Chain A
Amino acid sequence: NAGVTQTPKFRILKIGQSMTLQCAQDMNHNYMYWYRQDPGMGLKLIYYSVGAGITDKGEVPNGYNVSRSTTEDFPLRLELAAPSQTSVYFCASSYGVADGKTQYFGPGTRLLVL
């Protein structure tokens, strides 16, 4: 199993550009999450999904959108990039219908908005 994979590893965007951060998992996990980690800070939840076709906002959703058309994929869309979106983005997944399940993280995407 590859686990949770993310592409690209690193990207530089100009202000106002758009991009999609890709996330995929091959563990048949139903729950998936997007976090951002600012330098020296903890992880903040952007969006999450409990299954294909079901997504909801997390703590910091403004400026982002997500979709979940399959169990495996959970892309994160930035429509109009702003310097405040410079961060490291982590995708994670877990399996279960109850709480207390381990979240497995992808390797992250480092985004720089200039």
Chain B
Amino acid sequence: GENVEQHPSTLSVQEGDSAVIKCTYSDSASNYFPWYKQELGKRPQLIIDIRSNVGEKKDQRIAVTLNKTAKHFSLHITETQPEDSAVYFCAAPRNAGGTSYGKLTFGQGTILTVHP
């Protein structure tokens, strides 16, 4: 099955700085990589995703890059704001070699703190 490692576990930045979170995955057949944001006491919500046929995707201040050869993908947040403070999770499909039925393996999460 898929194994997803996420680093760092905590990240502290000053407002306006950039933040980068990296995930590695084990199954070379994986083809879909979402990122979820979870604010304290709330549900996880999708913020951006990337499919294996592209190397980068941007949405305003957030971007995701994918390196299929090295089997890692990263979340980039530019011009960070205090409201970006949350836990961020990466994920990859389980059983990607066959049909995963949408099942995901999640990383351990990164606690991002943006100081005003």
Chain A residues within 8 Å of B, Cβ to Cβ: 31, 33, 40-45, 48, 50, 56, 58-59, 90, 94, 96, 99-103, 105-108
Contacts and interface: CB of A to CB of B under 8 A. Distances in A.
A44 B2 CA distance: 13
A105 B44 contact: yes
A100 B49 contact: yes
Contact of A100 (B44, B51, B105, B109): B51
A106 B102 contact: no
A102 B49 contact: yes
B31 interface: yes
B78 interface: no
Most chain A beta-carbon contacts within 10 A, residue among B49, B99, B102, B107 = B102
A96 B34 CA distance: 16
A100 B52 CA distance: 10
Contact of A99 (B6, B31, B43): B31
Contacts of B104: 43, 45, 103
Given A42-B107, A99-B32, A94 B44 contact: no
Task: State the majority secondary structure of interface residues on A.
Answer: loop
18 contacts: A31-B101, A33-B102, A33-B103, A40-B109, A41-B108, A41-B109, A45-B103, A48-B101, A48-B102, A48-B103, A59-B94, A94-B102, A96-B102, A100-B32, A102-B46, A103-B102, A105-B43, A107-B42
Most chain A beta-carbon contacts within 10 A, residue among B6, B42, B44, B107 = B44
Interface in B47-71: 49, 51
A50 B49 contact: no
Given A45-B94, A100-B32, A50 B107 contact: no
A99 B100 contact: yes
A86 B94 CA distance: 25
Contacts of A103: 34, 46, 102, 104
A44 B34 CA distance: 16
A31 B102 contact: yes
